[in-house]
Amino acid sequence: MSEKKCDCGRQHVFDRRDALSLFSGAGLAFGAGPALAMATKSLQRPEDERYMRLAIAEAAKGDFPFGAVIVRDGKVVSTGRNMGVTNNDPTAHGEMVAIRRFVADNPAKQLKGATLYTSGEPCPMCMGAIVWCGIGRVVFAASIEQLSKRLGQIMITSRAVAEATPFADIEITGGLLALEALALFDKK
Amino acid sequence: MSEKKCDCGRQHVFDRRDALSLFSGAGLAFGAGPALAMATKSLQRPEDERYMRLAIAEAAKGDFPFGAVIVRDGKVVSTGRNMGVTNNDPTAHGEMVAIRRFVADNPAKQLKGATLYTSGEPCPMCMGAIVWCGIGRVVFAASIEQLSKRLGQIMITSRAVAEATPFADIEITGGLLALEALALFDKK
C-alpha cells in the first residue's frame, strides 16, 4: 500500500483501517485539510479506474450527473444513474438504482463483499443502503464536500456512516477521477 | 409547547429549533442523558398517537418489526412495513417502502411538508430519503439507541442527519409509544 495523490491534486484516498482511530466520533463531513491528509493512504487497485470510468459514463446519462456500477468477482453486475426526475423518485440516486436493479434479478446476499463504484461519494441514504446490503467496498470520485459546491448535500461523509456501523467493515477509496466526475456538472 | 415525558419514561421528545445549538456537530447517536433531557421539549400533537398506532400496526406485519405511515393534510397517503426478506431487498425498510409506494402513484413533490410516522427512528438511509423527498416532519417511537439493543444499527441519529442538511428544516419528535414499538421484538 502506498501513499498517492488523486487526480484532483489532494491526498484524500483513504484506508479505513489506518484512519479509523483518527475519525471515530466525527459525524460531519470533513475536508482534506492538513490533519486529514496525514492519515490518507491509497487503496486504489489496478482495475479501479476502468470501473470508475463506467460509473462516470452512467453519470453522464443521469438526470443529475451521478452514476454507479456494482462489481462482483471481476464482473459488472449492475449499473445505475440518477433517475430522480425520470422515475418521479427523489431516492433514485445512482447507487440506489444500481442496488435495486441488482436485487430485482439476483439474491440480495450476492451483494455481500461486492464493490460499488460511484461518481459521487454516497450520501447517507446511499451509504446506509450499501451498509444494509453488505457491500464490502466503495470507490467514489467526487467527495460530498466537492459536490456540495454544486448541489445541496447532506454533510455526513460515507466514512462517518461506515464508522458508525459496528457490524460492518467497509473499505472506502475516495477521489478517483474526481475532476472528471465534477466536469459533468459543467456540461449540464 | 410543553415539556412532556414519553411513555418510555424518558424525556427524549425533541424540538429541532430549541435543541439545534446543543447538538450541532454531533454525528453519532446520543442517549437521553441528563444533559440532553434538559433541552428536550415536546412537539407532540393531538393526532400523533393515532398515526403512530397505525405505524406500529404496520410494524407488527413486517419481516422485521418496523412500520411507517405518511400523512398529508390529515390523511394517511401511504404505508409501509419492513419487507427486506419478502422483497429480497435489504433496503426495503418501512419508511422506504412507504415512500416508494407513494411516488409510484403520486407526484413526488406532494411529499413536501408531509409527516412520516415510524415505529423505529429512521436509519441514515431512511432519513436521507426523507430529506431528499422534502418530508417536513418525522415522528418516531423507539430510538436508534433503543433499537441497537435488539438489532445492529448505524449509530447516527435522525437528528444528526437533519442537522447536517443545510437546505432542509425537518421537525423531529421522538419516543412516542416507544415501549409498544419495542414490545414487537418480543413477539417475533
In sequence order, what DSSP letters do the residues of A109-157 get, joined into one string?
GGGTT-EEEEEEPPPHHHHHHHHHHT--EEEEEE-HHHHTTTS------
Contacts of B27 in chain A (CB under 8 A): 25-28, 156, 160, 164
Interface check B125 vs A, CB under 8 A: yes
DSSP-assigned letter for residue B71: E
Q: Given the C-alpha cell 453522464, which residue does it identify?
A: A60
Q: How far is B150 from chain A (nearest CA, A)?
A: 13
DSSP letters, B118-140, are EEEPPPHHHHHHHHHHT--EEEE
Put simply, the answer to whether B28 touches A27 (Cβ < 8 Å) is: yes
Interface check A35 vs B, CB under 8 A: no
User: What confidence score (pLDDT) does residue A187 get?
Assistant: 80
Band (B184; pLDDT cuts 50, 70, 90): very high
pLDDT at residue B160 above 60?
A: yes
Look at residue A177 and give its three-state secondary structure: coil
- Of all residues in chain A, the one with the smallest CA distance to B167 is A152
User: What confidence score (pLDDT) does residue B43 get?
Assistant: 74
Q: Element (H or E) spanning A99, and its range?
A: helix A94-105
pLDDT at residue B54 above 60?
A: yes
Q: Please tell me the distance from the alpha carbon of residue B9 to that of residue B26, in angstroms, as a whole number.
A: 24
Put simply, the answer to whether A152 touches B160 (Cβ < 8 Å) is: no
User: Which distant-in-sequence residues (6+ apart) come within 8 Å of A152 by Cβ?
Assistant: B165, B166, B167
Distance from chain centroid for Cα A181: 12
Q: How far is B133 from chain A (nearest CA, A)?
A: 6
Q: Which three cell numbers stand for residue A103?
A: 436485487
pTM of the model: 0.81
Q: Please tell me the distance from the alpha carbon of residue B30 to that of residue B26, in angstroms, as a whole number.
A: 8
Q: Given the C-alpha cell 442527519, which residue does it identify?
A: B161
- pLDDT tens string A71-117: 999 999 999 999 999 999 999 999 999 999 999 999 999 999 999 99
β-strand partners of B142: B120
Contacts of A160 in chain B (CB under 8 A): 27, 156
Q: Please tell me the distance from the alpha carbon of residue B135 to that of residue A71, in angstroms, as a whole number.
A: 33
What value does the mean pLDDT take over residues B136-153? 97
Interface check A28 vs B, CB under 8 A: yes
Band (B188; pLDDT cuts 50, 70, 90): low
Q: Is B95 one of the annotated active-site residues of the chain? A: yes
Answer with the residue of higher pLDDT: B28 or A58: A58
Contacts of B170 in chain A (CB under 8 A): none
Q: Please tell me the distance from the alpha carbon of residue B45 to that of residue A161, in angstroms, as a whole number.
A: 32
Put simply, the answer to whether A125 touches B129 (Cβ < 8 Å) is: yes
What value does the mean pLDDT take over residues A148-177? 96
User: C-alpha dihedral over B65, A159, A150, A31, to 10 degrees?
Assistant: 150
Q: List C-alpha distances in Å: B32 to A118, A137, A167, B142, B163.
A: 37, 34, 23, 12, 18
Put simply, the answer to whether B128 touches A126 (Cβ < 8 Å) is: yes
Q: Please tell me the distance from the alpha carbon of residue A50 to that of residue A42, in angstroms, as a whole number.
A: 17
DSSP-assigned letter for residue A103: H
User: What confidence score (pLDDT) does residue A89 get?
Assistant: 98
- pLDDT tens string B88-110: 999 999 999 999 999 999 999 99
User: What confidence score (pLDDT) does residue A188 get?
Assistant: 59
Residues in chain A, total = 188
CB pairs under 8 A between A and B: 127
pLDDT at residue A25 above 50?
A: no
Put simply, the answer to whether A100 touches B91 (Cβ < 8 Å) is: yes
Q: Please tell me the distance from the alpha carbon of residue B144 to that of residue A104, in angstroms, as a whole number.
A: 28
- Which residue type sits at A144? I
User: Which distant-in-sequence residues (6+ apart) come within 8 Å of A121 by Cβ?
Assistant: A140, A142, A143, A144, A147, A157, A158, A174
Band (A14; pLDDT cuts 50, 70, 90): very low
β-strand partners of A69: A79, A117
Q: Please tell me the distance from the alpha carbon of residue A78 to that of residue B186, in angstroms, as a whole number.
A: 38
User: Which distant-in-sequence residues (6+ apart) come within 8 Å of A158 by Cβ?
Assistant: A121, A122, A127, A130, A138, A140, A144, A172, A174
Band (B26; pLDDT cuts 50, 70, 90): very low
